Amino acid sequence: MTAWEGLAHGFGVALQADVLIYCLLGVTLGTFIGVLPGIGAMAAISLLLPITFYISPEAALVMLAGVYYGAQYGGAVASILLRLPGTPQSAVTTLDGYPMARQGRAGVALFVSMVSSFAGSMLGIVVLVVLAGWLSQVATAFRAADYAAMMVLGLVAASTIGSDRPAKAFAMVTLGLILGCVGTDVNSGAQRFTFGQSELMDGINLVALAMGLFGVAEVIGNIRNAERHAAPERVTFRQMMPTRDDLRRMPGATLRGTGLGSFFGALPGTGSTLSSFLSYALERRIARHPERFGNGAVEGVAGPEAANNAAAITAFVPTLTLGIPGDPIMALMLGALVIHGIQPGPEMLTARPDMFWGLVVSFGIGNLLLLILNLPLIGIWVSMLRIPFRFLYPAILIFVCLGVYSVRGSAFDIATVAVVGVVGYLLALARFSPALLLLGFVLGPLIETNLRRAMLISRGDPMVFLERPIACGFVIASAALILLSIWRRRIAADSH
Amino acid sequence: MNRDWADIWGGLALGLLGAGVAIYAGLRLDFGSLRAMGPGFFPTVLGVALAVLGAAVALPAWNRAAESPKIAWGDASAVIGAILIFGFGMNRLGILLACFAAVLIASLPAPHDGWRWRILLAASVTLLCWAVFILGLRMSIPVFPKLP
């Protein structure tokens, strides 16, 4: 199937009434969640996971993806108006977005962030189509050893890049891998860590784990902090008109941000937060007057916003073509697909073209919806920031409980949410990343299966990981990342 | 002494958990061989790794000064209490009563005085919850308390 045929096919799927409605629902909810500081896309997606049982897998994935990239749009609003990042990806937008708002140019900053987000997403879709087509052909040569090595690389990259204490990151990944072992062992049927609980025989419930770690833990952590901000000023559509100078500065920054975002989004383990920071650093480095940055430079908003949206789109490349989620949000997406009995892999593009191309086209439609809805409706989103958190979080908790309960009618799962919620809160407080735990949890069973298969085929010879060129490449890259992070810490220690 | 207690306690807890996992898996589950790994192979290796990593987090933290984060036990217990009351109460108390009680308890730690808004909030969330999950999604949960 050529790309054009695929796109035509995708329009057929994405323009179905129910898929369209779930797309609209996803992006609206995503923007809402993104606008509100204190609840992220992870919490929203885990809240919606149970609903996806009742709808088609296409509609489910389209909706969850919509929440993800919708939150990237919404995240910028609180960053610009209140200097409170609505999502971690938009943290860097506060650096120049907030100064712009202080200068009375909040509307322009919002306009720039939305248009750059849109451009980044649209170009990201093109990169997604090209990369996915290429990778799904390369990946047919992948064997068990290569998959295991690649997933390990993903975990190593996620733990070392952008983490100030790699030991803590690795500990979280390992804890996730251990939690992924709970349940019935697929090969032998042995019970692992179930302690006689029949509810644990299928493993720890992904929905309960995700909701506890993100929904409940974020609520506990934000009860006191989320209401400390002042009410934002009103923004009207009219104030959003950029000046000619703004328009001249935007396109270059947007394009460079898109390039960075598309590249780092597609790599496993790096993701959109990193790419927005890199884009900001790049813009400041190449600027003729770097002192403008931090004082309301348009490029400081345009670049990072384009980067995080492009990364949000290309993050789907490894998820859909290899079945390997590059970041925790993709891990949840993969979880949603597996719930529907779909195991993504290199055959996905040919075996489930409706799924892949439907999703690609829905990205385009969803981003267009976001642009045409958000520009005129910006006033409504800004007023959302006036809702006190104390009115929201009790309702979130009730929705969490009913959402978990609806999966299989088990009160055990609700108790799991409560326990995981406290543990997740304590972990986040001590700056252990719960997102890495979830990544390990989802990848764990996949790594174990592929590792056992690879060792069986190689008759117990671990050298298989160095003899196969693909696996060897991943092993070398993982080792290099670990060495690099040790070296960087040594330099940091010396400079003190 | 102003040590980095978050990392000390966190690393210690993770390290002990890892050691426990390794011991349990080593004793109870078949380790197998490199060629045919048993169900105990992966957990044992991971348990040892977590024990080592936990130590690697906790030990350097002993000589490092850092501000300890304050744990909001009150907020956490209110939230957990609300979840448990709702989760275990809904089948006996019915969704209306369980939801009302859970929202009331969850709202206790909110930094805003007064009872009126709490009761109003509980009533409106209960109404919303009933409309969405009972009327809309037709979940089979009792609406009213079960009389003995």
Structural domain spans, chain A: 3-495
Distance between CA atoms of residues A250 and A247, nearest Å: 5
Please tell me the distance in Å from A335's CA to the nearest CA on chain B.
Answer: 21
Report the C-alpha gap between A491 and A62 in whole angstroms.
Answer: 45
Contact yes or no for A67/A279 (Cβ under 8 A) = no
Q: A104 vs chain B: nearest CA distance in angstroms? A: 31
Tokens found for residue A251: 């396109």
CB distance A394–B82 less than 8 Å? yes
The HSE-up count of residue A256 (CA atoms within 13 Å, CB side) is 22
Q: How many angstroms separate the CA of residue A372 from the nearest CA in chain B? A: 29
d(CA A442, CA A379): 39
**Secondary structure of residue A397 in the 3-state scheme:** helix
Provide the token pair at A459: 């008759």
Distance, in angstroms, between B108 CA and closest chain A CA? 10
| pLDDT confidence of residue B41 | 92
Cβ within 8 Å of residue A486, ≥6 positions away: none
Name the β-bridge partners of B37: B32
Question: How distant, in Å, are the alpha carbons of A51, A90, A171, B48, B114 from that of A416?
Answer: 19, 31, 21, 25, 32
CB atoms within 10 A of CB A4: 8
Contact call for B75 and A223, based on CB within 8 A: yes
What is the H or E stretch that residue A92 is in?
none
Cβ–Cβ below 8 Å for A178 and B30: no
CB contact under 8 A, A414 and B35: no
Low-confidence ranges of chain A (pLDDT < 70): 1, 38, 86, 162, 226-231, 269-271, 495-496
Residues on chain A touching B37 (C-beta within 8 angstroms): 451-452, 455
Find the helix packing angle between A411-429 and B5-28, rounded to 10°: 140
pLDDT in tens, A290-325: 888 888 888 889 999 999 899 989 988 888 888 888
Residues of A in contact with B29 (CB under 8 A): 190, 192
Q: What is the maximal distance between C-alpha atoms in chain B?
A: 67
DSSP for A23-62?
HHHHHHHHHHHHHSTT--HHHHHHHHGGGGGGS-HHHHHH
Helix, strand, or coil here: A323? coil
Structure-model confidence comparison of residues A35 and B85, the more confident one: B85
The amino acid occupying position A211 is: M
Cα distance between residue A378 and residue A205, in whole Å:
38
> What pLDDT is attached to residue B124?
93
| DSSP for residue B40 | T
pLDDT in the model for residue A235:
75
Q: Give the separation between CA A366 and CA A204, rounded to whole angstroms.
A: 33
pLDDT in tens, B16-67: 999 999 999 999 888 888 888 889 999 999 999 999 999 999 998 888 888 8
pLDDT, position A367? 92
User: In this structure, are residues A333 and A304 in contact, taking their beta carbons and an 8 Å threshold?
Assistant: no
Tell me the HSE value of A10 on the side-chain side, using a 13 A CA sphere: 23
Asked if A257 and A72 count as a contact pair (C-beta separation under 8 A), the reply is: no
Task: Provide the whole-model pTM.
Answer: 0.84
DSSP A349-362: HHH-HHHHHHHHHH
Q: What is the maximal distance between C-alpha atoms in chain A?
A: 70
User: What is the predicted ipTM?
Assistant: 0.92
What count of other Cβ atoms lies within 10 Å of the Cβ of residue A333? Answer: 26
Q: What are the C-alpha distances in Å from A358 to residues A128, A332, A366, A368, A422? A: 13, 19, 12, 15, 39
Judge: A397–B83 Cβ closer than 8 Å, yes or no: yes
